[in-house]
Amino acid sequence: MSDRIETNPALIEWLRDYEEQPWRRYVSGLKQRGELVDVGGVMVDARALFASRFRCDSKTCAMVDRPAGVESCCEEYYVELTLKERDRIAARGAEVVEFLSRKDPTRVAPDRDIATFFDDRNTIELRKEDNRCVFSYRDAAGQLWCGLHSLALEKGWPIESIKPITCILFPLVVFRFENGDILLTATSEEVERMFANPKESLKLPCLLKQAGAPMYVECRSAIETAFGKPFYERLAAAAERYMKSPRK
């Protein structure tokens, strides 16, 4: 006979509400404003994905002489990995170190241990060095690049075989509710508030400027990687309908 004690249901309910109630309220607000679209069973934040514009260009946020108050995802954000993601990078540690020692020789020595790139204590974070992600490098013009992404392109590897999913998705946000519902949205001040460690305010020019293509178009490869190509096609069709609808 098991001596396991059943957990107090009130505690279970509190844990669930603590985690997902803000997200439920966010979804409910989208619904009320007609900004929630169902795409193949995924709840899509139409305002964030269809009506917002986004362009990733590290020249606007991460040059050495960037203006005060401008933030960059590869400099300010802390990226957390799963064990699998860490192990995928570590398995290609020799190639990663060789690449970064070529592109960023003053910071990365050719014999560096790949384990030193991670802050690995229960949670696993990418370390920061020179006030930027340990896997980043600057080109001759001072522009910041992702070393893992560039290495994958150089070797012909799929980007998702080495780059962390958080980085591939950024600025997209995917939240899974306890009942299996999935919400696809994007980073904003309102969404940031729902994370455990919210920032005071977003200062990322790529999001603040509202320039470039609609979010879902600019993030096409990330969406296809995460949800598949058929999902993207349905998402694009839903975007067209949404933008033509009277509420727009």
Q: Tokens standing for 15? A: 């844990």
- Given candidates 146, 151, 183, 204, which one binds ligand SF4 under the rule CB under 6 A? 146
- Supply the minimum distance, in Å, between the C-beta of residue 62 and ligand SF4: 9
Residue 135 touches ligand SF4, criterion: CB under 6 A = yes
Give the separation between CA 97 and CA 111, rounded to whole angstroms: 8
Among 39, 46, 148, 239, binds ligand SF4 (CB under 6 A): 148
133 binds ligand SF4 (CB under 6 A): yes
For ligand SF4, what does the binding mask look like between residues 103 and 132, x meaning CB under 6 A?
A: -----------------------x------
Q: Looking at beta carbons only, is 26 or 166 nearer to ligand SF4? A: 166
Place of tokens 């009506």: 51
Count of beta carbons in the 10 Å neighbourhood of residue 194: 17
In Å, how far are 98, 124, 215 from 104, measured between CA atoms?
10, 23, 32
Q: How many Å separate Cα 10 from the centre of its chain?
A: 33
We find the least distance from the C-beta atom of residue 5 to ligand SF4, in angstroms, to be 42
Q: Which of 237, 247, 246 is nearest to 49 (CA)?
A: 237
Contact 28, 22 (CB under 8 A): no
Site string for ligand SF4, 70-109 (x = CB under 6 A): ----x----x------------------------------
227 binds ligand SF4 (CB under 6 A): no
Q: What is the dihedral of CA 127, 132, 135, 139, to 10 degrees?
A: -160
Interface residue list for ligand SF4 (CB under 6 A): 74, 79, 126, 133, 135-136, 146, 148-149, 164, 167
